[in-house]
Amino acid sequence: MSVPGRADSSSPPPAPHEPARAGTLALDGHFWRRAAKLGAARAPSWFVRWSPPVIGAAISLAVPRERRAISAQLARARGRVGLMRDAVDVVRTFANFASCLTEVLSTGSKNDCPLASTVHRGPRVDDLLASAGGLIFVTAHTAGWERLGALLAGEHRKRVLLVMRRERDEQARELQDATRRVPGGVSVLHVGDDPFASLPLMHHLRGGGAVAMQIDRVPPGMTGHAVQLFGRPALIPEGPLRLAQLSGAPLVPVFSARRGHRRYSVHVHEPIRIARRAGATAVDAAAQQIADALGQFVSTHPTQWFSFRE
């Protein structure tokens, strides 16, 4: 989560008309992503099930910057604790991330099988999901978020458009996107510096589709909206708020937690609406409701939030 006056440490966007590049052996590059994909798809099922937490714990020892970021994030979410408890929670976060990533990358392979998902939502959300109107899911880098689109598309026949920031490595991006897409249900749109001025999102919403956006990072060049998170000033992206106001589509916060091997719980919050002529006070209130939903979820599931940015 970005804080005012401090730049987000995510990768800078590529220059216009210039493809993004990353080092061959960068941790977020194609080499390691492909290696993880091959392991998740071809390794014995017992190895795919039991090895990711061990691998995640080992990786946590090799990336001190990300480890510090997770420690700081945990302190904000659940308060400060002793060094031993903090070290355990940091390792658990990396282990959860590795398990989730493995389950995503095994999509379409011999190790793939249906997820068991328990969805917690109210009747107003059920009515909204069953309606023909468009809606905007606002989510975060929580456990299993990449499978939310497939779950919602399959259950309610909603066409879901995942709006993603461009990655530095195009090959890595395409490999990951292949696991996110569901033919006829889920597609991916990559955006640059001003993603929410593009017409495809409005067209998709007006056609009754759902747009899914993450709100826990504000990359450089993107406008943020001031909120309070865990009792401290923070920023969420302005884009989802602006899109909701222009389109009239409700915002629906949704976050997920991993409960075991291929088992997830999904928490869908009450819809938030912003009138087309809403003033600054109403928009501020909607932004804070989103931040409150994220804070509520993360406070309850602190090791399920994968925000590896200081």
pLDDT tens per residue across span 123-138: 777 787 777 789 999 9
List pLDDT tens digits, range 167-216.
Answer: 665 655 565 556 555 555 678 887 765 555 567 889 889 988 889 999 99
User: Is residue 258 over pLDDT 90?
Assistant: yes
User: Is residue 310 over pLDDT 90?
Assistant: no
**Residue 219 and residue 7: Cα distance in Å, rounded?**
8
User: Is residue 24 over pLDDT 50?
Assistant: no
Query: 23 vs 200, which has greater pLDDT?
Result: 200
User: Is residue 108 over pLDDT 90?
Assistant: no
Residue whose tokens read 């008309």: 17
Reported as a pLDDT band with limits 50, 70 and 90, residue 10 is: very low
User: Is residue 103 over pLDDT 70?
Assistant: yes
**Residue 293 and residue 287: Cα distance in Å, rounded?**
10
List pLDDT tens digits, range 273-293.
Answer: 999 999 999 999 999 999 999
Q: Output the pLDDT for position 259.
A: 94
User: Is residue 153 over pLDDT 70?
Assistant: no
Q: Output the pLDDT for position 4.
A: 44
Q: Which two tokens stand for residue 177?
A: 């996107």
Sequence spans of domains, the chain: 30-105, 116-304
Residue 244 CA neighbour count, 13 Å, CB half: 26
Q: Output the pLDDT for position 6.
A: 38
CA distances 10 to 28, 32, 108, 215, Å, are: 11, 18, 29, 14
Concatenate the DSSP letters of all residues of 105-163 into one string: HTTTSTT----EEEEE--HHHHHHHHSSS-EEEEE-SBTTGGGHHHHHHHHH---EEEE
User: Is residue 95 over pLDDT 60?
Assistant: yes
**pTM for the model:** 0.82
Q: Output the pLDDT for position 199.
A: 77
Which among 256, 181, 183 has a CA at the least distance from the CA of 214? 256
Mean pLDDT computed over 222-227: 92
Q: Output the pLDDT for position 1.
A: 60
**Residue 34 and residue 23: Cα distance in Å, rounded?**
14
